[in-house]
Structure 1
């Protein structure tokens, strides 16, 4: 798809204002809430919202409500997105305004990381109890086992393994298993748990879901269980998880359907209040996976949360060649 000359002018006009260009540069790093953009730019919400409206009308950014918050991200594809990428790529990385914005965004990231680290450290010992307040673990685990299939699996990778429940559930069906988590407290609990379960060949490692450093296409089962709603860039985490999936392997994601329980954001460090089916399907297929299947588990309590299980596969080599 290409742009007409008038469309190109509209795109460049929308991007060709200092604050709007700064916003595009920020959103090239991650999706952000309106108030976070205000904080980095040190501008009022009405002013930032006006800039975002113009960028959205030009097709350069996407707006998506999430409970009481509103997030923005760069438009994922198309000629307009390609043109913006060219413009941003031509800017000097040492540009003073963008460098200052990047430093302020880093401060926002650091604050988020500190808050999250304190939360997980504070609640590590009660983690399974806290989880049980929102979802029937037995139903979710049964659905995950069904989605995974009987195995055996050569290599299982659990990203954001928490207390290690997915490892104790799935590692008995795997020759080797690896759990990654950023919280040392969670890793300590997970180590105790897998040891008590008598699991051999199960490794726990400090690691980042955005940059696992694992070889591409190296695991025939990858699991991301109740992790994405804590993350600033869940799409990037899905892409990294998909990168690890071997030909013929599966990625299983368990998380919440969209909801409006703001107290989870305020008290429990949830950044996103669930994920819509089309959004997740777009991320999975965009990461090179196919055969996306969905299982919805409605809550047993009146004000509970619906848990979604997404399963996607990487085609085998001969299937890729045939396609």
Structure 2
């Protein structure tokens, strides 16, 4: 089982004081269902922006929530710390969703999320032809996803990070396994798509944020699973991105990379901004070794038609470090978790 953190008496009292006000508790209840802006919260709560901002400031001072910037927009989310999330999931989960105030807030939250989905659908439709052209060149995504799930296994773990999250599909795919998920992408438009998809799938324990893969805005040594799905071929320095990804893994954590094998489809470079035309097993093994990772498995998925296409590759690697567990704990090599 996953371990849970404890909290000191003084800290608990301060936390309860910060949360123990109707509007602030409503904010926590809403943020437990996904990241929101001040504008979103003002619309849902029916309060002025200065008042909502004041509540947010107090919750941030109590380290119950965090703020992050995405272009000109500021988003708020529940704090990443396991102690805070354990505490909030306990009290928020006990609130009656049919309480009149809560019910009204959730209805307005639903309206906010529907607006997101409409914007995301518009962007997705505008770019669908480009994505469909590339998908037609390789095996269906379902086959690769099935292999990823088989390699990762079914045991739960603490935290997942999806670098270059795109539509947020992998956060949705592995949602039953992790307690906390984070997706990073440089494109604000794709983050809008990801948020809408996670909302639609009712995945409330994952957040997405804007960031550079060479310097992800997350803590190091914090994730049991890091994924990079069809990302590396867009990068000038994929080896450096793998090194950065490895630094984010907990000891014995796992990195899953999905990308293309070497190919000669030059139009992908010219028309779809692909910088690299695939990667060989040898090159990938060298990059993983330089990052301190051990290659554990790889899979190949050749195109189903005889026409020129793309072979999809899947590589699974593990951090070489081992946790030194104390006498009261044991270590699971499958999940990278203390149990």
TM-score by length of structure 2 reads: 0.56
Q: Deviations over 1:71-130 (max 9, x none)?
A: xxxxxxxxxxxxxxxxxxxxxxxxxxxxxxxxxxxxxxxxxxxxxxxxx99965557534
How far, CA to CA, are the matches of 2:237 and 2:276 in structure 1? 10
Question: 3-state DSSP class of the match of 1:213?
Answer: coil
Which of 131, 134, 138 does residue 137 from structure 2 map onto? 134
- 1:284 equivalent to 2:288? Answer yes
Task: Describe the shift of the 1:255–1:141 C-alpha distance in structure 2 as closer, same or farther (beyond 3 A).
Answer: same
Q: Name 1:312's counterpart in structure 2.
A: 317
How far, CA to CA, are the matches of 1:126 and 1:204 in structure 2? 25
Task: Describe the shift of the 1:125–1:148 C-alpha distance in structure 2 as closer, same or farther (beyond 3 A).
Answer: same
- 8 Å contact from structure 2 (residues 303, 311) kept in 1: yes
1:173-322, aligned counterparts within 5 Å?
173-302=177-306, 303-317=308-322
- 8 Å contact from structure 2 (residues 223, 249) kept in 1: yes
Question: More helix per residue: 1 or 2?
Answer: 1
How far, CA to CA, are the matches of 1:234 and 1:122 in structure 2? 29
Task: Describe the shift of the 1:234–1:190 C-alpha distance in structure 2 as closer, same or farther (beyond 3 A).
Answer: same
- 8 Å contact from structure 1 (residues 156, 171) kept in 2: no
How far, CA to CA, are the matches of 1:127 and 1:193 in structure 2? 19
Question: 3-state DSSP class of the match of 1:172?
Answer: coil
Q: Name 1:170's counterpart in structure 2.
A: 174
> Structure 1: 5+ residue runs without aligned partners?
1-119
Task: Describe the shift of the 1:263–1:159 C-alpha distance in structure 2 as closer, same or farther (beyond 3 A).
Answer: same
RMSD between superposed Cα atoms in Å: 2.0
How far, CA to CA, are the matches of 1:221 and 1:166 in structure 2? 11
- 8 Å contact from structure 2 (residues 252, 323) kept in 1: no
1:59-78, aligned counterparts within 5 Å?
none
How far, CA to CA, are the matches of 2:126 and 2:234 in structure 1? 14
Task: Describe the shift of the 1:127–1:217 C-alpha distance in structure 2 as closer, same or farther (beyond 3 A).
Answer: farther
How far, CA to CA, are the matches of 2:205 and 2:189 in structure 1? 21
After TM superposition, give the deviation of residue 170 of structure 1 in Å: 1.3
Q: Once superposed, which parts of structure 1, at least 4 consecutive aligned residues long, lie more than 2 Å away?
A: 120-132, 315-319
After TM superposition, give the deviation of residue 164 of structure 1 in Å: 1.1
- 8 Å contact from structure 2 (residues 265, 277) kept in 1: yes
> Structure 2: 5+ residue runs without aligned partners?
1-122, 325-339
User: What is the aligned length?
Assistant: 200
- 8 Å contact from structure 1 (residues 151, 174) kept in 2: no
How far, CA to CA, are the matches of 2:283 and 2:126 in structure 1? 30
Task: Describe the shift of the 1:150–1:126 C-alpha distance in structure 2 as closer, same or farther (beyond 3 A).
Answer: farther
How far, CA to CA, are the matches of 1:208 and 1:240 in structure 2? 11
Task: Describe the shift of the 1:269–1:122 C-alpha distance in structure 2 as closer, same or farther (beyond 3 A).
Answer: farther
